[in-house]
Amino acid sequence: MADNETAWNEKYWDMISSFYWNPSYMGWKRIQRKKWQIADGLVSVPLADIAEGAHALYSRQPMTDDEHRVFLNNKEEILNHVFDVTFAIAGDAVIQRLFCEPLRITDAGPFQSFGRKETASRYEGVPGETPSQPDGFFTTRDSAICIELKLKTYSSPEQLAKYVAIMAWEEMLREKKFGHKFQSLGLIFIVPEKSVSTHWKRTSLVDFGQRTDLAGREIRDEFLKLDRTKWNPVIKQLFDEKREDVANILDRLCLTVRSWTNLRDEIAKIEEDLDCSKVGDQTLGRLLAGLRAQIEAHEDTGVPKKAS
């Protein structure tokens, strides 16, 4: 991306601004001030102007565009949105480099990317919506890789169980369609630098100290000992009724934790290797630059900001 070029995530903020100033686009109905009745410090509005079944009334806090952006910028959802868009578009080589290589998975794709909504009702026999909606989920014929993005919050055993569950459900679907299991399974946690050293302890994989990667039986033996009484009942049922299938997933699963700084640096390396005289590289460069800019702008990633 040229030094004077604006990253595409700025266009995303233009869209957010448009929704902020036009709440009717999101289904909110205006009740104009002239319809308010104010008395004794209370406000009443005509019942006919309130949607049937509404559970709350909202009053928008007055903000400028800049104030609204500051308010939203460090929300986890914003970074999730930019991440989702980037990797719904990015080519297989980028996914392979950023997510397969850290897991030591050799798979060049083609990759299929699933968003949170796409996984909500994907699996037959799972009551209601799937109680596991990954931040990133990529599959090929032979591999399944999940990504969990962490900012202020810590990981937990329940969260790790959700990813094991979605891999189990996806593999059952895969076996039904194609008659074989995945050869490789991987899960990457992306966390602030300061959280890397304590990450496994937070997920109850307590014996692995400063390590950043884990694989196979060492996960299984540790994880199957956990008390599951507080887990989501759908996931608990899966672990109880499909214990052998879950154990098999854990036997093959590779885990790694990396920092947002590491991810940003790897993205920058890909950008540096591009030949922007080529149209495809121009497009990829702009795509990655927008994600990198948003990672750097989010205070909770802990990434030192670089001069563009």
Confidence (pLDDT) at 1: 53
Q: Are 45 and 31 in contact (CB under 8 A)?
A: yes
**Domain ranges (residues) in the chain:** 9-73, 76-261
Confidence (pLDDT) at 47: 86
Supply 229's token pair: 């009484």
Determine how β-strand 184-191 pairs with β-strand 213-215: unpaired
How far, in Å, are 48, 183, 237, 260, 291 from residue 267 at the CA level? 53, 27, 39, 10, 9
**pTM of the complete model:** 0.85
Confidence (pLDDT) at 133: 77
Confidence (pLDDT) at 100: 96
Confidence (pLDDT) at 5: 64
Q: Which helix (H) or strand (E) holds 161?
A: helix 157-178
- Nearest 5°: the CA angle 289, 285, 294 is 10
Digitized pLDDT (tens) for each residue of the chain, 308 residues in all: 555 567 888 877 788 888 777 878 777 888 888 888 898 889 898 888 888 888 888 887 788 888 888 888 778 888 888 999 999 999 999 999 999 999 999 999 899 998 777 776 777 777 666 666 788 999 999 999 999 999 987 888 888 889 999 999 999 988 888 888 999 999 999 999 999 988 888 888 877 767 888 888 788 877 877 778 878 888 888 888 888 999 999 999 999 999 999 999 999 999 999 998 899 999 999 999 999 999 998 889 989 876 54
How far apart, in whole angstroms, are the C-alpha atoms of residue 4 and residue 223? 50
Confidence (pLDDT) at 4: 53
Amino acid in the structure at residue 17: S
